[in-house]
Amino acid sequence: MSAVAVTPQETLVALVRRGWPDAEVFLKKGRSRRLELSAFTQTSVFAQEQAWAVRAGHHRGSFFAAGNGEPDPGGPWPEPTGRALRLPEPSLVLPWNEPSDFDAPLIGEREGLRLLESLGRELASELPGARLLAATLEDGSSESEIANSRGLRARTRARVATLYLEAAGPGRPAPTASVYLAMREARKISPPALARRLADRLAIAAQGASPGRDRGEVLLAPAVAIRLLAGLVPLLVGPKAGALISGLRDHRGRIGSERLTLIDNGRLPGGALETPVDGEGVPTREAVLVEQGFFRQPLLAWWQAETAAGHPSGCTRRAGWRDVPQPGPTHLYIKPEAKTPVAALLGSIAQGSYLLDVTGAGHFDLAEGTFALPVCGFAVAAGRASAPIAGAWLCGRIAHFLQGIAAVGRDLTFHPLEGMIGSPTLLVAGLELRG
């Protein structure tokens, strides 16, 4: 496969000569290995690709085009029909040390299949009779270059692996559970830890009972807290976020408890999406959205900061090379408290529940300020798990969730949702668990 061109200048010049002074060229090349394991088959696919995307236009309209290989400066190009295009100016990119694992080779076919097979063995060991129904591991690396007619130039690299697991437990009908994760390198996957998580989910589904209505303290494992945070993303992103979230303020002006600090950081060290610039070549940085319960600013792209209070943070992402860049979270997370182990949080609960995972799609009514999330876990009495809970819904007002955070653990975990969303374990009061 040919390398990405040293510069897309030739294409930019051709676009400007066509009468489109605003032009952007995005070039990307990558390689990936996809491994799939089921009860009957094993498959391995290695792929390499090179692709491009172009945005261009003038003050009356713009177009977006994309394709494989390299762009032909001569086109053909579509006529600008969409909204007028605005592009960022060059800006200073702060020093950034490229992670060493960017150079790690992709996981090999045999190595990857052994990893997936070990997940199945660990699961069967944790819960006899449990089995993997499907396992898909994709490990990839890429290099990209972006340039626009304003003089902006940027080169980036990326490294990410994703893992999807679906498992069934013993019994008839057999309960099922799934996990979807992303990390920078596939070799960092821990089969024992994932097997324990799946085994817990399957055992709870098989043995758990639907609870009565309970308003006791609730300990939210990262998987549950992350899904709650993901449901609140529209309240945190864009120039309208400040107005939307104002209704959550209490008499002190806080939208959450003093334990709540919420951060987005595109260059988070070790993050799966760690990068010095975003999908438009704008420098990334840490943005504190909520600090000790006080709302500081929404997450803003460079062009949104002109109409909203706050500083832009380089948060425009490309879901893929065929997609127009859009503002959104990169690594959005609740700040952990380094000195608080999960065991201490569990031990502090006199009567309540420990919710381990989400079992389906939740419902968020942001206009009414309410949510309902299907969950599973354990009832807790005197700091100890007592009975498994299944078929339950965690319900409440969004304000009660944010303001009811009584303690925060140190076990920060990220899941791939809209960007990478992260949270440690949270101890929360003021929510309701229903059957």
Q: How far is CA 44 from CA 38, 110, 138, 139, in A?
A: 12, 9, 10, 11
Distance CA 282, CA 301 (A): 9
The predicted model scores a pTM of 0.94
What three-state secondary structure class fits 195? helix
Single-letter amino acid code for the residue at 372: A
CA–chain centroid gap for 15, Å, is 35
Tokens of 416: 């791939």
Domains of the chain, first to last:
9-207 (3.30.2290.10), 217-434 (no CATH)
Identify the helix (H) or strand (E) that includes residue 229: helix 222-231
Strand residue runs (E) in 39-112: 42-58, 61-68
Instruction: State residue 254 phi and psi, 5-degree precision.
Output: -85, 150
Instruction: State residue 95 phi and psi, 5-degree precision.
Output: -55, 140
Each residue's pLDDT expressed in tens, for the chain with a length of 435 residues: 444 444 688 999 999 999 999 999 999 999 999 999 998 899 999 999 999 999 999 999 999 999 999 999 988 999 999 789 999 999 999 999 999 999 999 999 999 999 999 999 999 999 999 999 999 999 999 999 999 999 999 999 999 999 999 999 998 889 999 999 999 999 999 999 999 999 999 999 989 888 877 888 999 999 999 999 999 999 999 988 878 888 888 888 899 999 999 999 999 999 999 999 999 999 999 999 999 999 999 999 999 988 777 888 999 999 889 999 999 999 999 999 999 999 999 999 999 999 999 999 999 999 899 999 999 999 999 999 889 999 999 999 999 999 999 999 999 999 999 899 999 999 999 999 998
Neighbours of 413 (CB within 10 A): 18
Nearest of 169, 167, 173, 143 to residue 156 by alpha carbon: 143
Nearest of 390, 395, 410, 403 to residue 341 by alpha carbon: 410
Distance CA 118, CA 132 (A): 11
